[in-house]
Amino acid sequence: MKQGTLRVVITGASSGIGAATAVAFARQGAHLVLGARGREGLEDIASRCHEAGGQATVQVVDVTDTAAVTAFAADARAALGGIDLWFSDVGIGVVGKYLDVPMADHRQVVDTNLVSHMNEAHAVLPVFVAQGHGIWVNMISLGGYITSPYAAAYSASKFGLRGFSAALRGEMHDHPQIHICDVYPTFVDTPAVYHAGNYTGAKLTYPPGALAPEKVADAVVKLARHPRPSTVIGMPGPLLKLGEFANPLAAMLMNRFMDKWSKRAEPVRDTTGTMYAPPAGASGIDGGQRRPDGQRNTALVVGAAVVGLAIGARLVSRRS
């Protein structure tokens, strides 16, 4: 492999952000190993990678299976001759009041969004230590800072991922060429909205201002050359961190909003989505819900308003 060619592994690569990132790395001439549960989706994205100028091989893997992830990492290392960057992008969600969602579904979300990332890190970090360098990119999301009523297990998994990454950074301190990088996008327009479990009785949609998956992909590609601990996309970083301060009121307001939304949205039947099995066929990259270019990022505006309200309320309560 010629010097300078990036060797990249991406899980959750069959659709959405993982797929967009695979294509973005392919445009840089990267050599990729792509993993996910669905072969059709993987082969679709591998074809797009080849068209973009990269090389991609695929392997079906369930990242909640520790032994399978260990084998997948060994196969990827052998195929690539080493691993420069590993992007842990697998994620699912289930939407509904906590008590309305079966515990099996909550557990599946935590296993997929948190334990699977731990499996991946456990498999690849020894590779990085042995070769003396490597970048582990951990897809988290806005949910790593802001609690999400109607998505309690998702919140638990994302808060857990943030703590997990922080712990790994501490342990990797004596390996300066090994980087643990977190990515925190706001809402992203991917097929995930169609894959989610749904116990609200209402059709799920993204809010206005959802990001294009390619915007997140570009940020991940940049980390390959300029790794950093945290990357926030779609909202100023300091505002996201202020959201922690605003969490109690923000959560209450979001719960009220979701209560009203679920009563007004188009009704649908409950579903487990693709939590327990991959989607039939290829899902692609986009969710197809974005508005025309130039639309204001309403997600940012709403987020700023909620944070501002919460901070103001706390200041008033302290003065009274």
Which residues does 179 contact at the CB level (< 8 Å), separation at least 6? 134, 135, 136, 172, 223, 227, 228, 229
Annotated active-site residue 154? The verdict is: yes
Catalytic residue among 150, 154, 184, 199: 154
**Is there a contact between 86 and 136 (Cβ–Cβ < 8 Å)?**
yes
Q: Which residue has the tokens 């909620």?
A: 306
Rg (Cα) of the chain, in Å, rounded? 19
CA angle 168/173/116 to nearest 5° reads 15
Residue by residue, what is the 3-state secondary structure of 56-105?
A: EEEEECCCCCHHHHHHHHHHHHHHHCCCCEEEECCCCCEECCHHHCCHHH
Indicate which residues carry an active-site annotation: 154
